[in-house]
Chain A
């Protein structure tokens, strides 16, 4: 454990993961005979359609978007559960896109995933110690039985469980405790990079706070890098250094967390921020924006957001926008922002500690 327990030093950080032009298309056509008889064309679902992102060591990159925007597909592509249609995924400078199973094995040790549903991702017939020990055995990380046992105890303690809990089965634990077991399993192979797909979405808020705090502690202690996927904007704000917003398979905006939430540029990001319930009770009414996410099989032409966008014009209907570099280390894919058609006033004022939510309570 000693080699992994180094304190994260931001000065030494470099890019851990670099994704460029990543695409994943799914063929969702009807069977061949039906297509021929009913003269239907092939149907292609562009789940991920050209994503670029870079994640620095020790950082948390938050990926947000509504259901069906392709954020989970990005997660599965990065850990190699799907092969990409095009594009590259570089882990510390080495392209891991489309590697064979065998070539992928050493990469898998360094790249682990935490899933949303802690009920479905743990084998109910295995004891917790076997679940956590599986990666240790699979990668041959411990010499003998005693060493495996020691390491499992260590991991359970790391996620604030009792080493004696190893004897139990998953059903004996609550949702939050099961998510701790998933985290222990993910940490078993000493990974550097964790892909977390909605890790707290199935949990109650008080348990969510425990898991988010635990993930922060582990990141600091082990120098981990996270890709954190969630539809909950407040959670993403809390945990991330940098945030990307996805809409229908494309990255519409990317910026440091604070910038994105205080001065959102893309109209879709603004819409998302407007829909956050107002816990400060300022009396602000949420402005419900009309329309829904279109069907990704047949997305709108041009900018896929244009049917819901209040600033859209003819160009948006025809031409798909490219990601544009903005000051402050941000990118935005929007013709309106490029041409200055989208007014610049921020949606939210500069962050202030909401009174009454107990400012001092949170400082600890």
Chain B
């Protein structure tokens, strides 16, 4: 979907890993936009390429991983081919990052205050006194009690939830336009998870920050994201408004995924299950990557790779929705929804 003024544009991004046994394609030709102030959720199971996409956007792909082709544009400027120093200045100032494990983002040898003031002073021309005052202010903003005292403490003196708050403060300290949050709540207990989600939502609303939220947790996406991209085997299976994707999934994979999540208050003897498992990067099938697990696959799915097709307010890459087939969207959706609950169980995938 073309957006009027996208903050971030990702165009035909391909991320590759050269290995001894050949080149693996972790992200395979994906395109999406994030508008200003928008929260885009990126979901998928492990190995779907969601974290790789986030890392590629902020230029933190670990070698030998590299962007093989495609473009990443921030406010119309290409940032995927910048030299290291230039990219480093964009990271932090214009794009912030929050990772799953707060301990790996914080230096255990420096006090929280020092890490915050250092970041602030790198990107602004505040004096040390001003930067320290700003650090205390930030800690208060992310809900750390007694920030004047806590600012001089070290990461090990904070609990997991408090550390993640500090990481959020670090990501926000120079008001970036975009935050890449990679599984920000996965390492936390459920009651703390809710606090962190609420905090992230409030701050982004107040600062008008756009967020690319990478997670495997549909629940977190459901209450945080505006739009969501569902990834499978390095490709986008479906992208659209969060409500559409969750309640009215179009792609057979998304549909199966939603059915396999147990829900409270919902009594079913068995969960819907997608047979098999996601292919390894070494043997992605030709055509649609999902075809061996798809109950509705036909010849074309095994032969040609589907492009994203605009359907309703979103896009889906599935041949069922191909207009040339003369099927209406409603008919295609009915086919996707028509799988029986007692799907054949197959462990070899």
Interface residues of A (CB under 8 A from B): 66-67, 159-162, 174-177, 180, 204-210, 212-214, 216, 231, 233-235, 237-239, 258, 261-262, 271-281, 285-290, 292-293, 348, 350-358, 360-364
Contacts and interface: CB of A to CB of B under 8 A. Distances in A.
B186 to A, nearest CB: 11
B214 to A, nearest CB: 14
Given A210-B273, A364-B341, A238 B220 contact: no
B223 interface: yes
A176 B272 contact: no
19 contacts: A160-B345, A177-B277, A205-B45, A206-B45, A206-B256, A209-B262, A212-B262, A213-B271, A239-B262, A262-B265, A276-B264, A277-B222, A281-B242, A281-B246, A351-B267, A355-B247, A357-B247, A357-B263, A361-B339
Nearest to A286: B194
Instruction: Tell me if B's interface is mostly helix, strand, loop or mixed.
Output: loop
Given A288-B198, A351-B264, A361 B272 contact: yes
B140 interface: no
Contacts of A160: 345-347
Contacts of A352: 265
Interface string B188-211: 011111110110000000000000
A280 to B, nearest CB: 8
B265 A159 contact: no
Interface residues of B, number: 58
Given A174-B277, A210-B347, A292-B161, A363 B219 contact: no
Given A279-B246, A281-B242, 17 more contacts: A160-B347, A177-B347, A205-B261, A209-B273, A216-B269, A237-B263, A238-B262, A277-B222, A281-B243, A290-B195, A292-B159, A292-B191, A293-B191, A351-B265, A354-B263, A356-B248, A364-B272
A351 B46 CA distance: 31
Nearest to B349: A174
B102 to A, nearest CB: 14
B75 to A, nearest CB: 31
Nearest to A210: B273
Contact of B189 (A67, A234, A276, A280): A67
- Pick from A237, A258, A277 the residue with the most CB of B within 10 Å: A277
Contacts of B348: 161-162
Interface string B228-260: 000000000000001100111000000111111
Contacts of B274: 206, 209
